């Protein structure tokens, strides 16, 4: 009963995808704008869960353009990719045992588990309006829904 066991696993970890938080106001007509980060406040501070993945107090709007042809580029805002979305953590595993029945006959039992840790793979937060303190950074879905749930399958194979 001790021999002929085989255990295989695949552990996947991927960092979250970069995301840019846009300005909530128009700072220069016809130009896009990225929010600025508040010095000393980390975007991931706070709850950092599906209800509020980022801290809305970490962002602010840049100043508005005051005159045509100004050389100050501050109204364009911050750099893109200020924050990162949720990470992917997944463990798939398989356990297999082979039994020799006769010289040319063998039976194999296999149990496989997918997303064994049952860790959801959250999608990017939907609401990017950091002035909306209630809904900013809220995650409404998973990336691979409905395939994220933990699942197991069992099989028996006869070799002859």
Distance spanning both ends of the chain, measured CA to CA: 21
Distance CA 136, CA 126 (A): 8
DSSP string computed for 15-28: PPPEE-PBPSS-SS
> What would the pLDDT profile of 1-55 be if each residue is shown by its tens digit?
677 899 999 999 999 999 999 998 888 777 778 999 999 999 988 888 889 999 9
DSSP, collapsed to helix, strand or coil, labels residue 51 as coil
Nearest C-alpha neighbor of 134 from the set 82, 56, 59, 49:
56
> What would the pLDDT profile of 107-149 be if each residue is shown by its tens digit?
999 999 999 998 888 899 989 999 998 899 999 888 876 667 8
> What would the pLDDT profile of 74-116 be if each residue is shown by its tens digit?
777 888 888 999 998 899 999 999 998 899 999 999 999 999 9
């Amino acid at each position: 009963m001790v021999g002929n066991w085989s255990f295989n696993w695949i552990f996947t970890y991927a960092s979250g995808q970069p995301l840019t938080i846009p300005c909530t106001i128009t700072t220069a007509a016809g130009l896009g704008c990225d929010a600025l980060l508040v010095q000393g406040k980390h975007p991931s501070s706070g709850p950092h869960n599906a209800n509020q993945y980022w801290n809305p107090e970490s962002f602010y709007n840049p100043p508005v353009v005051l005159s045509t042809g100004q050389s100050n580029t501050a109204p364009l805002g911050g750099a893109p990719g200020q924050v990162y979305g949720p990470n992917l953590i997944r463990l798939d595993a398989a356990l297999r045992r082979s039994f020799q029945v006769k010289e040319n006959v063998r039976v194999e039992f296999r149990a496989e588990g997918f997303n064994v840790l049952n860790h959801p793979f959250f999608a990017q937060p939907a609401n990017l309006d950091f002035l909306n303190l209630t809904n900013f950074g809220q995650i409404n879905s998973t990336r691979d829904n409905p395939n994220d749930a933990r699942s197991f399958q069992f099989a028996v194979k006869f070799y002859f």
